[in-house]
Structure 1
Amino acid sequence: MPMHIHSASAAVADQDASLAFYVDTLGWEKAADAPIAGDMRWVTVVPPGSTTQLALPDIRWFDGGVAPSKNTGISIVTTDIDADYATWSDRGVRFKGPVETMPWGDKATWFYDIDDNEFYLIEEVAAG
């Protein structure tokens, strides 16, 4: 039976500020922003052309208000990493370092959102 991954999560301190970062700075789309209970909301964003959403749960959802590891383990595939790196750098996105070629040939770097959640940005090279 067909399946797909609906979402992955990156805990945030301020859902409104994070939503603005992902939409206005990265150019992603808001997929959901719905009340859950009290002042809690289900907020998700999605990169252009993707179906897998990134959920932005409020850090208060976690035990003691402490988020899990900031290394999300989430890889984001792009078709033009150099253009994304240049555009996002101009918009103030923090990167771990410049784009580099991995030993297997893909080009990659790591970037951080405003809550220091770390993401892997990669441009896959066709197997040859």
Structure 2
Amino acid sequence: MLTKLAHVTLYVRDCEEALQFYTEKLGFEKRMDSRMDNGSRWLTIGLPNQEVEIVLHDPTHWHREEVADQMLALVGKNPMWVWQTEDFAGTYEAFRQKGVPFLTEPHDVMYGTEAVFTDLYGNQYLLLQTASV
């Protein structure tokens, strides 16, 4: 029986630039960073006080060339993830000041306030503050 979601994988072209974006612009923390002799790297990040870790995965050294090429073709094409905040205005402004690109302006919806932003590869994320019940 499944007990929890532990990791999700995000394909990246460059682990270091991805690490810099997610830690410096979005406030994630580095959790694990192990380098293997073959050049591969196990790099995970997470939000403070949250167990789930995101694997920043550059498949170049992990997989055969044709498999790595298929994975690299998926960079920037992840399904949208929803990131929740308790301070929409403050988080939105902090992200904007750090150069996080937003595709939509903040707007109110029946379940809260939201805006769509992207990472350095074009993956889309929804910033959401849920409405008070």
TM-score class normalised by the smaller sequence: 0.7 to 0.9
Counterpart of 2:105 in structure 1 is: 98
Secondary structure of 1:18's counterpart equals helix
Q: By how many angstroms is 1:73 displaced?
A: 2.6
Counterpart of 2:4 in structure 1 is: 4
Q: Which moved more, 1:58-67 or 1:33-42?
A: 58-67
**Aligned counterpart for 1:88 among listed residues 90, 95, 98:** 95
2:77 is matched by which residue type in structure 1? K
Instruction: Extract unaligned runs of 5+ from structure 1.
Output: none
Q: Alpha carbons of 1:100 and 1:39: their partners in 2 closer, same or farther (altered >3 Å)?
A: same
Q: Write the deviation string for residues 53-99 of structure 1: whole angstroms up to 9, x where unpaired.
A: 12211153554231266243321111112111100100100011111
- The two structures have a TM-score, normalised by structure 2, of 0.82
Take 1:36 and 1:6, find their aligned partners in 2: how far apart are those partners?
22
Indicate conservation of the 8 Å contact 1:71/1:119, yes or no.
no
Counterpart of 1:113 in structure 2 is: 119
Count residues in correspondence.
126
2:49 is the alignment partner of 1:49? yes
Indicate conservation of the 8 Å contact 2:12/2:75, yes or no.
no
Take 1:20 and 1:87, find their aligned partners in 2: how far apart are those partners?
16
Counterpart of 1:35 in structure 2 is: 35
Q: Alpha carbons of 1:47 and 1:27: their partners in 2 closer, same or farther (altered >3 Å)?
A: same
Indicate conservation of the 8 Å contact 1:59/1:67, yes or no.
no
Take 1:82 and 1:113, find their aligned partners in 2: how far apart are those partners?
19
Q: Alpha carbons of 1:15 and 1:101: their partners in 2 closer, same or farther (altered >3 Å)?
A: same
- The two structures have a TM-score, normalised by structure 1, of 0.84
Alignment RMSD (CA, Å): 2.1
Residue identity over aligned pairs, in percent, reads: 23
Q: Write the deviation string for residues 28-57 of structure 1: whole angstroms up to 9, x where unpaired.
A: 111111125611111111123222112211
| Largest Rg, 1 or 2 | 2
Instruction: Extract unaligned runs of 5+ from structure 2.
Output: none
